[in-house]
Amino acid sequence: MQFNKSDLPKIKECADYIRYLSLMSVEYANSGHPGLPLGCAEIGTILYNYFLKINPEMPGWINRDRFILSAGHGSMFLYSLLYLAGYKFTLQDLADFRQMGSITPGHPEYNIDMGIETTTGPLGQGFANAVGLAIKGKMLAARFNKPGFDIFNYRVFTLMGDGCNMEGLSSEAASIAGHLGLDNLIAIYDSNNITIDGSTDITFTENVALRYEAQGWQTAVCDISDIEDFYQKLAALSAVSGKPKLLVVKTIIGQGLDKSRGSHEIHGAPAGVSEIAYFIQNSCMKKIYGKEYPDEINDREKLSAILGKLVKEKAPLKDNTSVTDFFQQAMKKNSQSYHAWTELFSAYSSKFPKEHDQLLNSMSFSIPERLAKDLINFKVDKADATRNIAGKILELCCAQIPQIIGGSADLVGSTRATVKGSVYINKNDFSGRNIAFGVRENAMGSIGNGLSLGGMLIPFTSTFFTFFDYMKPAVRLAALMKLKHLFIFTHDSIYVGEDGPTHQPVEHLNSLRLIPDLLTFRPGNAMETAFSFLYFFENMEGPAVILGSRQKLDQAVFNLTGDRGVFYENFKKGAYIVYETERTTKPDIIFAGSGSELSLALESAKIIETQDKRNVRVVSIPCLELFHKAGDEYKTLLLGDRFTPMVFTEAASHRALKLFYRKNMMIADIEDFGLSGPAHLVGKRFGFTPDAIAENARQLLKET
């Protein structure tokens, strides 16, 4: 929609209504972060009404502009705007903020249908995701656009705060964004000089705009008290080409309140009814409350009492048709860009049928049959390091899956993770499939997540396993969002050798295994390496890690003979029998391991077999999580009953497990991420109550 000076009173009214929705929802929940929504309400109003090319009726429109609230704690800002824009939020959903089972959890959770482009909350992540989405926009444009047919030209807007800018992640991500000249990326910096512990005077005094300038960004500074200036600067920045853009906006946290305005106290706590009463008396909401409570509206104490009652009752939030109408009008106008796009796309489909088909194919991925067969039958003549083998398999996959793109943090030479035969993307040409992330693991992980958001591309990112520590937040978020993102980590154990302990991952393997909804594959031969890729591409919606060894593995486990189809069926259950003295349900001892220790298991088993004349069994466990899911029957089939001795060998720390290990054991733990709601209810939901634990203990006593 076109901005007009005469809109200013309406913009103020919208902003006040956003303030009202945020204040009341936080008050109802008795928890949340009202400071940001209050300070940024005008920013949101301008963005959604005058800038974003979106169509809430078609939330998944592939060329929609993206908006990411990187400062995810301000979630009520986003929910209020999405409600007003016409996404599937109701006033009741807002009133249910942070409650069990609501669609308005504490921090925004990835859901494109609801207008939430990514999960945010860990500061800086949303910004780096935005960089990934901007790179993706450029890559899609390079693949599919034709002269006169800009099928992809979406822009990515993100709102970040002091916290996001303090995080090192934002510096890494901004650096690569500047290097790549991502002019489809526009960051708005909510510069209110307040974080949780107080003023940024005690922590953060650098010139952020200059920092971004130095990283190749175009920047401008404004104050939100001059709304028109904000609009003009944002419009001018948006039009700049060749560089990403940062608009530093001076705001006041808690704007509209009396005592807590400008204070860190309003960052993350309910304002309280007296402050809300002050806000209502001094804002556009006065009209609405004044009609209902004409005698009390000018009396702060009386109005507070009324609000107190409404909060206690969780009364329905007040509707404001004047504001919703304004938003709807804007959305109608903005949806013209959607309709123009659909016409363009329809013309594109007849003029460029091949590209059109490719585009549709990339939206609904399934592994090519031929590739699945190639991977089932994949063989190498000689034993090798699994990182080398993984490199070859990736090459095979890339040749048949055009959506694969990715890169490494300056370690391609070692990890072998590259798209052979393709070039690196650069500022002027995004048609390549390789991304040189530079030595920026932190940003690489989160940018990789951004590349995966919404599908169409399948990213891989790669580094030494020990440096996964630098990417951990992104791996966790990929699992939480179920993003199809392949992490290839090599040099997977102490066998790194000369580089020493700084480069030897020890605790990493089991820390990956603790992340819900993530699969970690540690293949011990070429077949298992190929199967790991196959499983990821064939079966997984979410992320996986494939670990590669630096060192050459043993020939003995490299050429297992048998039916590949049967091997794969068992591999899908996470573990399988590699060797048995004889087929029996009761071997004398079982040897198990993964990766490079598979051959160790086999060798030690053979010694016991020949020297001690024992019946042995060797089990490979390339994916512990799949094995865990395969069920007790399959576990017993492979590992015997609990009286069967077992030696499990893995060059990684298992200390946390060993501490509690007993023959008959029980672990009460949490196998999920948790969910939004009052703490005691969440605890109960996951069985963390004395009764639930006691019941488990009772069961265990019965069995032993």
Ligand X SMILES: Cc1ncc(C[n+]2csc(CCOP(=O)(O)OP(=O)(O)O)c2C)c(N)n1
Which residues are marked as active site?
441
Which lies closer to ligand X via its Cβ, residue 33 or residue 243? 33
Among 108, 163, 178, 523, binds ligand X (CB under 6 A): 163
Torsion of CA 689, 691, 694, 698, to 10 degrees: -140
| Distance in Å, CB of 469 to ligand X, minimum | 15
Instruction: Write the interaction track for ligand X spanning residues 111-140; mark x where CB under 6 A is met and - where it is not.
Output: ----------xxx-----------------
Q: In what order do the strands lie in the sheet with 404-408?
A: 434-436, 404-408, 458-464, 486-490, 544-548, 519-521
Q: What DSSP string runs through 507-536?
A: SHHHHHHTSTT-EEE--SSHHHHHHHHHHH
Interface stretch with ligand X, choices 162-170, 224-232, 314-322, 645-653 (CB under 6 A): 162-170
Per CB under 6 A, does 195 bind ligand X? yes
Between 120 and 335, whose beta carbon lies closer to ligand X? 120
Minimal distance, residue 268 CB to ligand X, in Å: 7
Q: How far is the CB of 121 from ligand X (least distance, A)?
A: 5
Taking the complex as a whole, the smallest distance from the CB of residue 83 to ligand X amounts, in Å, to 20
Q: Which is nearer to ligand X, 256 or 595 (CB)?
A: 256
For ligand X, the closer of residues 107 and 243 by Cβ is 107
Tokens 């109003």 — which residue? 45
Whether the CA torsion 23, 29, 30, 35 is positive or negative: it is negative
Q: How many CB atoms lie within 10 A of CB 364?
A: 8
| List of E strands, 240-375 | 245-250
Which residue is associated with the tokens 């039009």? Answer: 239
Out of 7, 27, 96, 162, which residue is the one contacting ligand X (CB under 6 A)?
162
**CB of 269 closer than 8 Å to CB of 196:** no
* Closest approach of ligand X to the CB of residue 421, in Å: 39
| DSSP label at residue 26 | H
| Count of residues that bind ligand X according to CB under 6 A | 21
In the bound state with ligand X, the residue whose beta carbon lies nearer, of 192 and 525, is 192
**Candidate segments 6-14, 193-201, 272-280, 515-523, binder of ligand X by CB under 6 A:** 193-201
- Measured from the CB of residue 258, what is the shortest distance to ligand X in angstroms? 19
| Side-chain-side CA neighbours of residue 203 (13 Å) | 13
Per CB under 6 A, the segment of 68-76, 331-339, 342-350, 667-675 that binds ligand X is 68-76
The distance in angstroms from the start CA to the end CA of the chain is: 71
Q: With respect to ligand X, which residue has the nearer C-beta, 35 or 543? A: 35
Work out how close the CB of 67 gets to ligand X at its nearest, in angstroms, rounded to a whole number: 17
Angle between helices 321-351 and 75-85 (to 10 degrees): 80
Residues 125 and 169: beta-carbon distance below 8 Å: yes
Per CB under 6 A, which region of 155-163, 300-308, 538-546, 616-624 contacts ligand X? 155-163
User: Which one of 44, 59, 126, 161 is in contact with ligand X (CB under 6 A)?
Assistant: 161
The site string for ligand X over 397-436 (x = CB under 6 A, - otherwise) reads: ----------------------------------------
Closest-by-Cβ residue to ligand X is: 161
Residue type, 699: Q
What track of x and - describes contact with ligand X for positions 266 through 285 (by CB under 6 A)?
-x------------------
Could you say whether residue 196 binds ligand X (CB under 6 A)?
A: yes
Least distance to ligand X, CB of residue 35, Å: 5
SS3 state of residue 489 = strand
Residues 16-45: x where in contact with ligand X by CB under 6 A, - otherwise, as a string: -----------------x-xx---------
| Nearer Cβ to ligand X (122/542) | 122
Q: 464: which strand partners?
A: 490
CA distance 678 to 612: 59
3-state SS class at 261: coil
CA atoms 632, 636, 637, 639: torsion sign: positive
Minimum Å gap between C-beta 226 and ligand X is 20
Q: Considering only the stretches 13-21, 158-166, 379-387, 405-413, report the one whose residues sit in contact with ligand X under the rule CB under 6 A.
A: 158-166
Beta strands in 58-118 (DSSP E): 66-69
Which residues, 6 or more positions from 363, have their beta carbon under 8 angstroms from its beta carbon?
62, 455, 456
Q: Which helix (H) or strand (E) holds 160?
A: strand 156-160
Q: How far apart are CA 549 and CA 534, in angstroms?
A: 19
Please choose, from the candidates 60, 523, 6, 44, the residue with its C-alpha nearest in 3D space to the C-alpha of residue 249. 44
Closest CA to 127 of 183, 71, 179, 52: 71
Residues that bind ligand X (CB under 6 A): 33, 35-36, 71, 73-74, 121-123, 161-164, 167, 190, 192, 194-196, 253, 267
